[in-house]
Structure 1
Amino acid sequence: MPETPTTAVPALPSLAAQADRLVDLGVHRLAGVSAAELRSFAETAAQARTEPAGGGTLLAVHPDRVPASALAPLLRRDDKPGFVVVDMTDVDRFAPHSAALPDSPFYVLDGLDRGDDMANWSPEEALPALTAADRAPLVLTEGIHWVLQQPEVLDRNHCFMTIGSRLRKDNGALDARTPAIWISNGTGRDGRERRNAPKVGWCWWGNRHTWLGFASTTGRSHPAAPAS
């Protein structure tokens, strides 16, 4: 299967710096907690880590507290805010599916990978490969948190899907769409003014895209609970 060469992904800032970033963006208020609570969690999580994780550790707010629709506009690229595509009005119904999230307002993820080596794979092909490698696909809000903390992780021709989020329809079947984060070309309904802006959209479960990898993690954890 064709592969796109992997490019270097910058390491994440410290957990303390990530907490400050979320506070500056007002994410703590969206989550209904104080800035002190968020910073205290980041400090506790940092102290619980016995050694630095490769590439750093990502601080995330549970999607039940702050959904994707609230996080996406906080993204920035070329001074342009992020957005959700107009035909994804149900974005917040894409819930964790192939991912077990800690039962906590905040948690951390280790060993993040953008999945460049899986570019031009379909989600249907990528999920079992990630599972076999003991990796879990990111959910959409985690992907947005990653870009919020490290905007350079979203690079032209090296963007990613977040197939840990799926939408279950009223009849119980899974929707064929899978969420992804990439950079708008400013075409079609995006509008020219959004060219180069971060974009939350979707792709079909069985389709391949040369410029989309599959973001994943080696594990999620909360300082008071075992890793999942």
Structure 2
Amino acid sequence: MTQFDAGTEFDRQVRTLIEKGFGELAGLSADAYADLLAPLRATVTDRAAGMEAPTEGRVPFVLVITRELAPIERAVPLLTLGGRKRKPGIIDRHYAEGDLVRFVPAKEVELPDARAYVLFDVDRGEEFCGAIPNDAMATIAGRGRTPLTMEEGIALVTQYPAALAKNKCFSLGGSRCGDRRVPAIWISENAPKLGWCWAGNPHTWLGMASAADRAGSLG
């Protein structure tokens, strides 16, 4: 079995964020951005024992950058699919002007830091393809897990583009705006698209992403 080094993976994720331009979104140099995220390295390595190497559907951890440092409307265009498909991510036209700021963490979702944190044991939730989103979220809650927010979905695709695959896209039930809409990320015109679907409508190609928990800096 391939050895998985959590510290090396943390460093790769920081480099990826910088190379994709997330540091520029925050108005920071590459070094300053790396310094900002550095305290989270201990959060990851402290829980490294037992971590398994990532697969397309499940990864041990992901660095999450919140909208305070990376507004969603500017972060989505930094997304691309895996392989040679490099078209920038797009936001679905069905989001009305001002809609994105209305989607905030659901009442049961607590974020450890307003800027950046770590999401652990992330699963794109393909088992829920074809399930009603409300039912999928209830199952996830029953397992003691948490649905992903918009920012967390962006983080997953940023670090693991292959997690977003044909017929294996995912909803982000951790962000809600008070109505029946559930955000989701899927593939449209060979690019990642941030859209939404109704909480009571199933889609065969859309699962429900979840994670074990979230953690901020240990300091």
Place the TM-score, normalised by the shorter chain, in its bin: 0.7 to 0.9
Instruction: Give yes or no for the alignment of 1:146 onto 2:140.
Output: no
Determine the structure 2 residue equivalent to 1:191.
Answer: none
Match of 2:140 among 106, 113, 130: 130
Residue pair 2:77, 2:88 contacting (<8 A) in 1 also: yes
Q: Deviations over 1:71-110 (max 9, x none)?
A: 1000113121100011213123211114211124211011
2-side partners of 1:161 and 1:38: how far apart?
29
In structure 1, stretches of 5+ residues that fail to align are 1-11, 168-173, 185-194
Superposed displacement of residue 136, structure 1: 0.1
C-alpha distance 50-154 of structure 1, shift in aligned 2 (>3 A): closer
Taking the aligned partners of 2:9 and 2:102, their CA distance within structure 1 comes to 31
Equivalent position to 2:25, from 18, 22, 30: 30
Q: What is residue 130 of structure 2 aligned with on the other side? A: 120
Runs of 4+ in 1 over 6 A off after TM superposition: none
Per the alignment, residue 48 of structure 1 pairs with 46
Aligned positions, number:
198
Q: How does 1:51-62 map to 2 (within 5 A)?
A: 51-54=49-52, 55-62=59-66
Q: Is the 8 A contact 2:173 2:208 kept in 1?
A: yes
Q: Normalising by structure 2, what TM-score?
A: 0.83
- Asked if 1:72 is matched to 2:70, the reply is no
Aligned to 1:99: 109
Residues 1:31 and 1:53: Cα distance change in structure 2 (over 3 Å): farther
Task: Report the TM-score when normalising by structure 1.
Answer: 0.80
Matches within 5 A, 1:167-186: 167=177, 174-184=178-188
- 2: distance between equivalents of 1:124 and 1:46? 31
Distance 1:50 1:205 in 2: 35
Which structure 2 residue ranges, 5 or more long, are not aligned? 1-5, 53-58
**Number of the residue aligned with 1:8:** none
Instruction: Look up the match of 2:89.
Output: 82
CA contact (8 A) 2:37 2:116 kept: no
CA distance in 2, matches of 1:159, 1:136: 17
User: 3-state DSSP class of the match of 2:201?
Assistant: coil
**Equivalent position of 1:16 in the other structure:** 11
CA RMSD in angstroms comes to 1.9
Question: What percentage of residue pairs aligned between the two structures are identical?
Answer: 37
Q: SS of the counterpart of 1:37?
A: helix
Q: Does 1:198 find its partner at 2:192? A: yes
